[in-house]
């Protein structure tokens, strides 16, 4: 048998690198950690929300300093409104708000008013309503000027142009104030009235 003293045994094949496996494991681990943080954070937030808010009878009740603030919404057809009630008062927003015009404020003849907001607090009542009419802006402005002059309200500010006008009025003790904004648009006259009663 002959031996070749200079020959070495063949080298073992190189080990395959598992770099791809390590990258996939690291990415999977990051996803698991992220998922745990999101779920844990969501549960923490849900628990904390219960400390200051809950849903009762379909209304959101927020608790602050031992007082409840109740937030509710309603809808009739295309009209909707949001109401916020607390021990300090009530406020309503939206197209479905009842437009209850105070007795001291003139009501435009033939107009169908729509409420925008109303608020009632210990300090008084305030609100806003709007309507459209086929009468000209100058005729509507004339109506409010005459009505304010014949009542206890004095016009304190007035700006008028051919297509629009704005006027503010108040009584002597500033217990009743009103602002009327009149403008022409789309072949009709739009009117917005805001009032405060203290």
pLDDT score, position 96: 55
> How confident is residue 135, by pLDDT bands cut at 50, 70 and 90?
very high
Q: Is the pLDDT of residue 4 over 70?
A: no
pLDDT tens profile 76-132: 766 677 778 888 888 777 665 566 788 888 889 988 787 777 788 888 888 888 889
**Residue of 127 and 180 predicted with greater confidence:** 180
Q: How far is CA 84 from the centre of its chain?
A: 11
Q: Is the pLDDT of residue 2 over 60?
A: no
> How confident is residue 140, by pLDDT bands cut at 50, 70 and 90?
very high
pTM of the model: 0.62
**Residue of 140 and 8 predicted with greater confidence:** 140
Q: Give the strand order in the sheet containing 89-94.
A: 53-56, 59-64, 67-76, 79-86, 89-94, 114-121, 124-133, 188-197, 176-185, 164-170, 154-160
Query: Domain limits of the chain?
Result: 19-51, 98-197
pLDDT score, position 42: 79
pLDDT tens profile 14-38: 666 677 777 888 888 888 888 888 8
pLDDT score, position 51: 64
The CATH number of the domain covering residues in 98-197: 3.30.310
pLDDT tens profile 35-76: 888 888 877 776 666 666 667 777 777 777 778 888 787 777
In the chain, what percentage of residues exceed pLDDT 90?
Answer: 22
pLDDT score, position 166: 93
């Amino acid at each position: 048998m002959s031996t070749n003293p200079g020959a070495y045994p063949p080298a073992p094949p190189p080990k395959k690198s598992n770099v791809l496996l390590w990258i996939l494991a690291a990415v999977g681990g990051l996803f698991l950690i992220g998922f745990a943080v999101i779920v844990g954070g969501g549960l923490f937030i849900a628990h904390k929300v219960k400390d200051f808010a809950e849903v009762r009878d379909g209304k959101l009740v927020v608790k602050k300093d031992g007082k409840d603030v109740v937030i509710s919404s309603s809808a009739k057809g295309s009209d909707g409104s949001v109401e916020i009630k607390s021990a300090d008062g009530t406020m309503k927003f939206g197209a479905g708000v009842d437009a209850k015009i105070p007795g001291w404020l003139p009501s435009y003849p033939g107009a169908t008013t729509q409420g925008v907001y109303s608020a009632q607090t210990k300090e008084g009542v305030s609100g806003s309503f709007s309507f459209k009419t086929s009468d000209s802006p100058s005729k509507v402005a004339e109506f409010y000027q005459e009505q304010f002059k014949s009542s206890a309200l004095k016009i304190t500010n007035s700006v008028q142009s051919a297509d629009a006008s704005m006027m503010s009025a108040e009584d002597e003790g500033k217990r009743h104030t009103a602002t009327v904004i009149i403008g022409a648009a789309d072949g009709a006259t739009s009117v917005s009235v805001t009032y405060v009663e203290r």
